[in-house]
Structures are given as structure tokens and as C-alpha cells.
Amino acid sequence: RASGAVDIPDDAAPVQPQPPRGSSMIIEQPIRSGQVIMNPDGDIIIIGSVGSGAEVTAGGSIHIYGPLRGRAIAGMNGQPDARIFAHSMQAELLAIDGYYITAEEIDPQYVEKPAQIVLTNDTLVVQPLVPPAFPVRKR
């Protein structure tokens, strides 16, 4: 059947729908050497450690509430705003949206400390997980 005439306003720009973001994967056990954990559509949250030789790969961000000794790859589907958080940064390799750094490139001041990794101006930056406290003024 033919439909009637349709009026399309000139000022209406086509709207690009945002793809639905996948759900988070929560793992409540250590990830051992040789294990690979993957969630291509969402975040991964690990309550435990990631052993040397293990790999965690996510389409979104990665949160590790324990030592990160293996590899963490976030933003694997083109999400440059993804981050990697670790309670104790000891990673072999860190990557976000195709950019990576190895253990040798991590500033020693962040090793074995809570840290986050962000992609800024096509460079991976390791930062403290908790910003430094602001000085408190006494009266």
C-alpha cells in the first residue's frame, strides 16, 4: 500500500542511535595464570587477583579489586573512554583502545599501589586511583 505524502522538516538532522552497552561481568574469584576472561560488550569487575600470565579483555572498563599481575585490555571495541582500575598495579601489559604499555613503562611510583589507567591524547597515563588529599586548613 502506498502511504500518503510525508513532510520532513529541513532542520531535523538524522539521529545516530547509541549502540546498547553490554552488561558488566562480575567475577568473585582469582584469575589464574593462563586463564582468559573476555566481555567484548561491557565492563569486567574482578573481586580478587589477576595472576601473571592471565588476560582480562573488555569492551568497556576493567575493575580489579586485588593485585593485577597479568594483562588487562580495555575498550577493545573502540571505546577510548574506557579505564583500567587496580588495587595493586603490577601488570605485565595494559591496553586501552589499541594503545598499550608494558610493565617496564609503568612509573615505579605506581607499582604495587592503587592506580588507574586512562587514555589521554593518544597516550596511556597511569594515575593514582585516589587523588592526593587536599590540605586541610586549621582555624
pLDDT at position 133 is 62
Q: What is the DSSP string of 6-31?
A: ----TT-PPPPPPPPPPPPEEE-SPB
The arrangement of strands across the sheet holding 36-39 comes to 36-39, 55-58, 71-74, 93-96, 99-102
The arrangement of strands across the sheet holding 44-46 comes to 25-27, 44-46, 62-68, 84-89, 115-120, 123-128
- pTM here is 0.79
pLDDT at position 11 is 56
pLDDT at position 23 is 87
pLDDT at position 6 is 61
52: Cα within 13 Å, side-chain hemisphere? 4
pLDDT at position 124 is 95
Give the CATH class of 25-128. mainly beta
pLDDT at position 130 is 78
- List, for the chain, all residue ranges whose pLDDT scores fall below the cut of 50: 12, 16-17, 19
pLDDT at position 74 is 97
**Taking the CB of residue 8, how many other CB atoms lie within 10 A of it?**
5
The whole-angstrom separation of Cα 108 and Cα 90 is 10
pLDDT at position 129 is 84
